[in-house]
Amino acid sequence: MQTEIVVIGSGVAATALITKILAERPNTSITVLEAGGKIKLRDWALFQNYLITNKLPFDNQNIYDSCHDLSYPDRDKPGENKFEGDTEIPMVGARAFLYGGSTVHWGGWSFRLKPEDFQLRTSLKNKGIAPGDVIDWPFGYEEMEPYYHEAEHFIGVSGDSEDTTTPRSGKYPFPAFPFTLEDGLFIDAFKKFTEPVSYSHLPIARYGDTHANNSHGPCHTTGLCKYCPFGARFAAANNLDDLVQSARYPHLQILTNAIADEILMDSKTHATGVKYLNQKNGAWETIHANIIINAAGAIEGAKLLQRSALDRWKNGIGNDYDLVGRFLITHPYFFYKAVLPANPQMLQPEMGFPTLVSRYYDSPAEQHKGKFILVNPPSSPKVNLARSMSNGKTRDEIIKSIQTNTTVQLQGLIEVFSDRRNRVVNSEKKNRFGMRETKIDFYKSGDFDNRMKEVEAITKTIFGHMNAVDPGIENAISWRADHAACTTRMSNSPEEGVVNPDLKVHGTSNIYMCSNAVFSSLGAVNPTLTLTALSLRLGSHLLNQLKA
Amino acid sequence: MSKYNLEARYFVLENLRKLDDTLLDTLWQLFVRICKFWQTTETPEAMKSDFLIFISNRIEMDIRYLAEYVNYGDVIQELTDELGEEAAFQKLFTDAAANITPAFTNLARAKQLVVNELIALNLSLGGFKTFGNPAIAQGVPINYPGYIGGMNRRDHTPYRKKAD
Ligand SMILES: Cc1cc2nc3c(=O)[nH]c(=O)nc-3n(C[C@H](O)[C@H](O)[C@H](O)COP(=O)(O)OP(=O)(O)OC[C@H]3O[C@@H](n4cnc5c(N)ncnc54)[C@H](O)[C@@H]3O)c2cc1C
Ligand code: SF4
């Protein structure tokens, strides 16, 4: 099979890129190889089932149990993948192997990085701190700004256009969700600091994009919508459907259950195609292409390079400096709680997603210690009405239990820095999808626990300002691989990273990485808006190339 | 394109999908009772078409629901004969024995696979709105995670907003 561009993976990175290229060159022949299968979206019966059972269509023990890693092996259960190092990075639930990739079950938090995030190394050096393995991005915020704007419109972000947290040249496509009554507690507490803690509306990809050329409906409601029956919430699978079903793009094809195993090359620099396992018939097949886009995610993307073209690159493509898979970063996610002794207003989280965020600590002043954000989370309310009713509680009993007291929570993401020891590699074993399992080595930095003590002290003060008592940790820190990044990081030179500023693998002429793997550093916020902006930027670059 | 190539809907024979009217009405009476017992709405009729779609979707997704609904019909009939209508629903809604796991009695199956699901549906259709003391909530609906809260139009936010 021959195609102009082969894209490995069908997540948001692939989808944004393809959309951009096809908009300008509708006849481009593009083939997408997707390891997973397709699940049904936009189905009211499935949504009702989710509403009643709390089981997503792709959840465990469901007929669609086909797209998640299993937990690590333990005594009683078979598992997948291995971890070493001092800190476990759980993979279960942290990505989805399916048509449309992980945004089928993401949260939609859509932040821009801040200008200083692009200069982490410089900033550490200016503070007199040894930057270690940390590097700057090869370009700054001003280069990214137009693509951020484009990305916000592509994934349909609702946000506050007056928010000055990051400089912006245009408005969000949709207005922000108003703060909830419960947010008011946090806002009042933030204001009580000597230097008030700033806050803003959390930008979230929720509204269907009504003005673009796709079939997304507008967001109707404010339910818990990990699974949107209307296709309003951005999930790359819906956008892919729009492309595939459009008669305008006759040479786009998406092969599901096709696992890319190796990128093939006819010289050290030039790739010719991809060898993949067609899971539908069990056969090894090859697709030839002029341009190879590796959009398989930060973990699988790096692993694919490591196992490719070993006759020309001893340790895998782009890996002469043994950097592919290294510098793995993910976001530690922290959870604190306290108790409001009385709750006459019956405050409970009223929506399934957050509306309030503080990026006060996501600032240059905190950068050298690891920036963080604070969110009033979309947590489960103390009293679950459905459960209370099912358990036979009367209306009066339920109301009394809500008014007695309530738990308030603060959650957040904190930035950690590159460390050469942290990496992903292939293991020999294959998982139940037929893909090579992953081995992860991860060490948290020596000062991490102290940093968390500082964060805890700040959250305690906030709880104190709201007269909440018994502050404490709600859950142990989650190091889940949801935001895995930096494994083929972008750099000006091959000694420091794996891809160049155009996302092309150093030392190759036609292999591009398009995933969180290319981040030079991760920042304190969720990565996907930045990833989408990078994909659109890559789209512009490739269109220029194709024209030439 | 041949039909066998089209995306499959749920495989259910048309005649099996049809619940008889009496049973459907029995289920609707249950839904109305839920509204009354927890005072979630005074106008359950507004939710009737959603209720009907729900019942038909449950059966389409899993044909065994037909048997669960028939079982519920038998259980409520027996309870009503034995205790009278009022007490029958009281028992169904509040008797701890109905929530045992695994649900191996007919009562437990009726409660867990029919009654509890309709409770969740009721909340999702807006039953939560009146939950709580409207005087305290100042008449503003209280939304509830996991449930659809109405249209998110600029002039109508379906959760309690912080006053600006
Ligand atoms: C529960 C959860 C919540 C999240 N919430 C947020 C959020 O609120 N905000 C945010 O910014 N980010 C969030 N994220 C992260 C976000 O989902 C990812 O950043 C984003 O989806 C990455 O997109 P991608 O296209 O690079 O990769 P993916 O979406 O993971 O797509 C990669 C695709 O490649 C396929 N693939 C992998 N290997 C191969 C192979 N060898 N051959 C063929 N195909 C292959 C996979 O099957 C997959 O479909 C969340 C993640 C999780 C898990
Ligand atoms: S709130 Fe919006 S995005 Fe969420 S399920 Fe409803 S329509 Fe979909």
Nearest to A51 by CA among B118, B106, B151: B118
Task: Please give the C-alpha separations between residue A327 and each of A115, A122, A132, A301, A470, in angstroms, as whole numbers.
Answer: 22, 18, 11, 14, 38
Q: Is the CB of A515 under 6 A from ligand 1?
A: yes
**Separation CA A212–CA B55 (nearest Å):** 36
**Is 50 exceeded by the pLDDT of residue B15?**
no
Measured by CA distance, the residue closest to atom 2 of ligand 2 is: A219
pTM of the model: 0.94
Range B102-109 average pLDDT: 93
Q: Enumerate residue ranges in chain A where pLDDT < 70.
A: 59-65, 74-77, 209-217, 220-225, 380
H-only helix segments in A395-447 = 395-404
pLDDT for A317:
98
- For residue range A60-99, list pLDDT tens digits in order: 556 556 788 888 876 666 778 999 999 999 988 899 999 9
Name the token pair of A268. Answer: 């050290």
| CB contact at 8 A, A463 and A408 | yes
For the domain A2-159+202-332+416-444+479-547, what is the CATH code? 3.50.50.60
pLDDT for B164:
73
Q: What's the number of CA atoms in the CB half-sphere (13 Å) around residue A356? A: 27
Touching check for A180 and chain B: CB below 8 Å?
A: yes
Q: Comparing B148 with B120, which gets the higher pLDDT? A: B120
Nearest to A104 by CA among A242, A240, A237: A237
- For residue range B58-84, list pLDDT tens digits in order: 988 888 899 899 999 999 999 999 999
Touching check for B152 and chain A: CB below 8 Å?
A: yes
Q: Is the CB of A104 under 6 A from ligand 1?
A: no
Q: Comparing A81 with B30, which gets the higher pLDDT? A: B30
Touching check for B80 and chain A: CB below 8 Å?
A: no
**Separation CA A351–CA B143 (nearest Å):** 7
Query: Which residues partner with B37 through β-bridges?
Result: none
How many inter-chain contacts (A to B, CB under 8 Å) are there? 137
Q: How far is the CA of A533 from the centre of ligand 2 (A)?
A: 24
| A406-414 sheet: strands from edge to edge | A200-201, A356-358, A372-375, A406-414, A333-340, A469-478
Touching check for A256 and chain B: CB below 8 Å?
A: no
**Is 60 exceeded by the pLDDT of residue B136?**
no
Closest-approaching ligand to the CA atom of A377: 1
Chain A from 62 to 121: CB within 8 A of any B CB: none
pLDDT for A228:
82
ipTM (interface predicted TM): 0.85
* Residue % of chain A over a pLDDT of 70: 95
Q: How far is the CA of B158 from the centre of ligand 2 (A)?
A: 13
Closest-approaching ligand to the CA atom of B159: 2
CB within 8 Å: A223 and B154: no
CB within 8 Å: A390 and B95: no
CB within 8 Å: A399 and B132: yes
User: Domain-by-domain residue ranges, chain A?
Assistant: 2-159+202-332+416-444+479-547
pLDDT for B130:
66
Name the token pair of A396. Answer: 């009066």
Task: Please give the C-alpha separations between residue B143 and each of A387, A501, B127, in angstroms, as whole numbers.
Answer: 16, 46, 9
Q: How far is the CA of A152 from the centre of ligand 1 (A)?
A: 18
Which residues 6+ apart lie within 8 Å of A73 measured at CB? A79, A80, A82
Give residue A486's Cα distance to chain centre. 12
